[in-house]
Structure 1
């Protein structure tokens, strides 16, 4: 009997992280239907090499226990890196005496710095873990759906054991950007992501992307890596993401500076994303500087946590003569404050070089906020004729749209955003479950293990 085991290990361990993928995982899991096309759907995590069914994704209402759990996770990662360093050094040392001393030092450090604290933390965790999950026995025919950001996980050997026991593997793909645009990321992430994709290329039975654009990219990449014959034995599909801000509650307080920003006269253009090179904030600043020079009174509000490779951007913003006049930046807005900003902005601006989906576009447009975005395929897929698109090679293209909208009051899209419709997270979760179940049930059973060990 087939079951969909939808994996959410990283979010289970870090339930308060609220960036893109974590938001997707949390919302899909919290609205996961009990069944799809007669197939039971269960949220699961892989902990200590074992499957557990999730009964509570949110953290417990105990700051002390949550702090202990977080410290334990960090210590485990540190211990793993320490072991990897030891393995590298051991392979480089030629002297038997030096290798012996290295081994003794490793054992002492492992026992004192990692072993004892981790055993104590495990005992503490053992008491509260049953309040959030229970052990689950896998069955042949089950499908492990890797919904979470599994590229930085260490459960691949466990997943492979499940596969040998007859469990199918389904990989959810958010994008291939570390492969296609490695210049936007740190070298280590590019390496980790590449290793992960090699693993799912060999191991997964099916691939579920978050847009048709990414689905086609994944299919092409699989054909390139493992050949058309092997790739065509897999299935490829996609689902779309929802739009609600689930951590928004009526009683929460809006950031005071944000309230003051929207309380003043003049239109506000909102940019929502992590500060990182791919999001192209430099182009945004260039465009608004051109608009300001041409007499625009528009204000630009940048909302998003600080990411990577953005030191020069942060310095430019902090030294900008329009900072806190016509340029504003918020790096830690709550969902309540973000909802407030979406409701009061004139438009969303999104100049990203490349995306797998573009969640802020959906969040904005579903609330009736028109969006201006870079002219890339996935934005066309999502926004269609309801968005305005600008040329990434010419900041004047966006500046001109801002000026024209400000002066005429007519948004430069062929169709009004009020006519645009999108799904919510409940429908998104149902799409994921239904499309996965359909593909699994329709896939020829003879192919189930045919590629488990393909080169």
Structure 2
């Protein structure tokens, strides 16, 4: 029997993380095809140099803070602290004096180290060395298994174990979400660029096959592999893709929709929704530029930004918080539950998504699957996902988005070539099955090729 060992280490250790990759991992793991004749899919984690089968991905609910929750809260506090530091640094007394800025920075660094960074490091140590959870059980690998690196593994420390598995006859398959730290490093933290580049070198040497989340990324991936290891080595590997699903998996009817969000949708003016982590490549500044032009032209449309605060966004957050339209026509929510996000998708006028670059664009299918039309930047992967069902705007001209907003506000007609009534997309069950089927297709083809060569 062939076995796919589907790796989900980061999500197992960070069960409350809810960004794009974590959504994909949780949903694919939950919907893995059942055991059949000749095939078995097993979720696994690699911890402290050992392989474990995951019996339950999510921990049982608890009303007390566990160590993971405490670490997440401390990390969030550190991010917010540095946002406040950036605001304070811009004040007159610090902007006019290099020594005052240096003194402020040193004081902040000492505070963060003692009150936040050191506790976070201690928690990481405790979590790394804690006893094995009843949620997992030791798993013996065997030759012919296929290890599918589904999770965000660039920060992982399990590469020596994966290499040992490969020496023991286990195939390695890497799921690739995007190449943004390589192709657009200006949008990423310098540390991430370095770590991701090292990870990519590792998967280029180690993996037997690669599954991207769009044809756009599959083709970019192959080109980058040719550049790094040469055409001949690339021919020895296989490349494919699968598309993501659309359901929100953390829906909980016991969690009420945020009151401030309910109040927003009680008004009649149209609401244009942006859903993503707030970081440079998501291009929120363009969004503000476009809506400021629309408001200047008399538009009553409202812009609702939903997403956690990420990195390199201090100036943008300050701009939003000081904006004269804040809580009038401009709204921001940084910690919505899936229940509240579902409400926003169901009641908005359209999604707006002005990213410079994406691997897929999960909010697009989440919105469109619920009947919410989407306006997106005119980039190849959005054309792949949205086709003629989306409206597109020019990233070099904020007025192009402003015009779409104004025209839709006045006519009530969404400016796409095809109506969303004809839209169909994958469920997470179908997406998970597609991933497994495409991997198995390549494995079966490799077996046939070996038998042909031997025969």
The alignment's TM-score, normalised by the length of structure 1, stands at: 0.85
- CA separation of 1:252/1:116 partners in 2, compared to 1, >3 Å: closer, same or farther? closer
8 Å contact kept, 1:59–1:66? no
Aligned residue for 1:328, secondary structure, equals: strand
Tell me what 1:125 maps to. Answer: 131
Match of 1:206 among 190, 196, 209: 209
Q: What do residues 268-303 of structure 1 show as CA deviations (whole Å, max 9, x unaligned)?
A: 000000000000000000000011111110000000
Match of 1:227 among 203, 225, 230: 230
- CA separation of 1:203/1:259 partners in 2, compared to 1, >3 Å: closer, same or farther? same
Matches within 5 A, 1:26-425: 26-35=26-35, 38-62=38-62, 66-67=66-67, 125-126=131-132, 129=133, 131-425=134-428
CA distance in 2, matches of 1:36, 1:413: 43
How far 1:366 sits from its partner (Å)? 0.2
CA distance in 1, matches of 2:197, 2:349: 40
Tell me what 2:105 maps to. Answer: none
Tell me what 1:104 maps to. Answer: none
Paired residues, what number?
Answer: 406
How far 1:63 sits from its partner (Å)? 5.7
How far 1:124 sits from its partner (Å)? 5.8
Tell me what 1:6 maps to. Answer: 6
Tell me what 1:20 maps to. Answer: 20
CA distance in 2, matches of 1:304, 1:446: 47
- CA separation of 1:63/1:122 partners in 2, compared to 1, >3 Å: closer, same or farther? farther
CA distance in 2, matches of 1:115, 1:359: 32
- CA separation of 1:70/1:437 partners in 2, compared to 1, >3 Å: closer, same or farther? farther
CA distance in 2, matches of 1:301, 1:114: 32
8 Å contact kept, 2:71–2:120? no
Aligned residue for 1:258, secondary structure, equals: helix
Give unmatched runs, 5+ long, in structure 2. 75-118
How far 1:2 sits from its partner (Å)? 2.4
- CA separation of 1:415/1:141 partners in 2, compared to 1, >3 Å: closer, same or farther? same
